Structure 1
Amino acid sequence: MTESTPAPATTSLNDRIAQRVRDLRASRGLSLDALAAHCGVSRSMISLIERGESSPTAVLLEKLATGLGVPLASLFDDAEPVASPVSRLADQLQWRDPHSGYVRRNVSPGGAISPIQIVEVNFPPKARVAYETGAREPRIHQQVWVLEGRIEVTVGDDLHRLDAGDCLALTLDQPMSYYNPTRKTARYAVVITTAPTSWR
């Protein structure tokens, strides 16, 4: 395998992302120009992503997810998920953000089994990712549970320093960023639900 040839898993995930973006855009009746206007990503870049000819960063994918009204994790779903209540570790593809180097893995079973999605992230030392997150309908709620290490999560103007065992609840409706201030890889789980929730 030459250096310019993507690894099979990377190729598979790029193809999966391409299919998901195409399907989600079509289901919402959006043209390339309309989606570009919604999410602030150029029409040419969206076209490259939909053809599987680009390795988009997490920040870029989050912009697309915001424009499509879905959580970022949804862009990694299989176009034809197997409706099984069990997601085997061996079947959970990993994706590496080409910018920050963080590695994410969709843990939850595919298909409409549950309104909840779980993602595991390995976040490298000193890595930082800033998302220009905007509101979606229905509202998307998320919890970040630190399993190992330490991370800093900024939501709007609020900075949250989280150590192992800490859990942060938030709504995806404003800019946010993740930062690992340490020299060790941090590991955390993100739990996402798109079901309308009333907080009391």
Structure 2
Amino acid sequence: MKESPPEELAARIARRVRDLRAARGLSLDALAAHCGVSRSMISLIERGESSPTAVLLERLATGLGVALAALFDAPEPGPEPVARLADQPEWRDPHSGYVRRNVSPSGVASPIQIVEVFFPPKARVAYESGARETRIDQQVWVLDGTIEITVGEDLHRLGTGDCLALVLDRPVSYHNPTRKAARYAVVITSQPVLRR
């Protein structure tokens, strides 16, 4: 996988966070209170002056009511509904070293997003996800290797070809317990939660 230049992705993430926050009418203080990320950190991210971890970005995405993949979308839709390999953004988590590539075209009116992840040996990422205003479903399909996914209290060990369906409504952690890199695809859908 060839990663996108860090400064290009930092600028893309910065603009997406600013645009999503503005679209929801949230001040920096309100978003900080809503997602548990400090106002100063959000400001650094929005200016493209920080290298946030996947865990931090997931907290922001939760506070903004979107899937993590949405923070990597291009600010404007592409001219066609095709995402060419060379245009698919790749990002490396500075903490775990995992690399994620947004496969789906940006700006297409679809409730589905696809992400490919290269997960290094012994890597671990834990998201504190909880209930959201938007229901986010995922299916994790292991393309190569072994990963362990803990959803709440439930541990799932997946090998090549295995697929796990989950809802992001409780903490989720990913772990590669082996000495070999793993590669998996994540198919994501989101829809507003209907309240009664």
Instruction: Specify the TM-score bucket, using the shorter chain as the normaliser.
Output: over 0.9
Question: What TM-score, normalized by structure 1, do the two folds share?
Answer: 0.92
User: Which of 114, 121, 139 matches 2:117?
Assistant: 121
Paired residue for 2:46, among 36, 50, 58? 50
Q: Following the alignment from structure 1 to structure 2, what is the Cα–Cα distance between the partners of residues 169 and 68?
A: 23
Deviations 1:57-102 (A, max 9, x none): 0000000000001000000001112152211101112100000000
Deviation larger for 137-146 or 182-191: 137-146
1:41 to 18, 37, 43: 37
- 1:196 offset after TM fit, Å? 6.0
Deviation at 1:157, TM superposition (A): 0.4
Q: Tell me the secondary structure at the aligned position of residue 148 of structure 2.
A: strand
Q: Percent identity?
A: 78
Are 2:23 and 1:27 aligned?
yes
Matching residue's letter, 1:13: L
Residue of structure 2 equivalent to 1:4: none
Letter in 2 for 1:178: Y
Q: Which residue, out of 73, 82, 89, partners 1:86?
A: 82
Which structure 2 residue ranges, 5 or more long, are not aligned?
Answer: none
User: Contact 1:83–1:111 (CA<8 Å) still a contact in 2?
Assistant: no
TM-score, with structure 2 as normaliser: 0.94
The answer to whether 1:168 aligns with 2:164 is yes
* Distance in 2 between residues matched to 1:81 and 1:156, nearest whole Å: 35
Matched, 1:72 2:71: no
CA distance in 2, matches of 1:55, 1:81: 25
Number of residue pairs the alignment of both structures matches: 191
Aligned with 2:9 (options 8, 13, 16): 13
Distance in 2 separating the partners of 1:90 and 1:83: 15
Q: What does residue range 123-142 of structure 1 map to in structure 2 within 5 Å?
A: 123-142=119-138
Residue segments in structure 1 that go unaligned for 5+ positions in a row: 1-6
Q: CA deviation at 1:114?
A: 1.6
The answer to whether the Cα contact below 8 Å between 2:83 and 2:105 also exists between their aligned partners in 1 is: yes
Pairwise CA RMSD of aligned residues? Answer: 1.4
Cα separation, 2, equivalents of 1:83 and 1:151: 36
> What's the CA shift for 1:8?
6.9
1:111 deviates by: 1.1
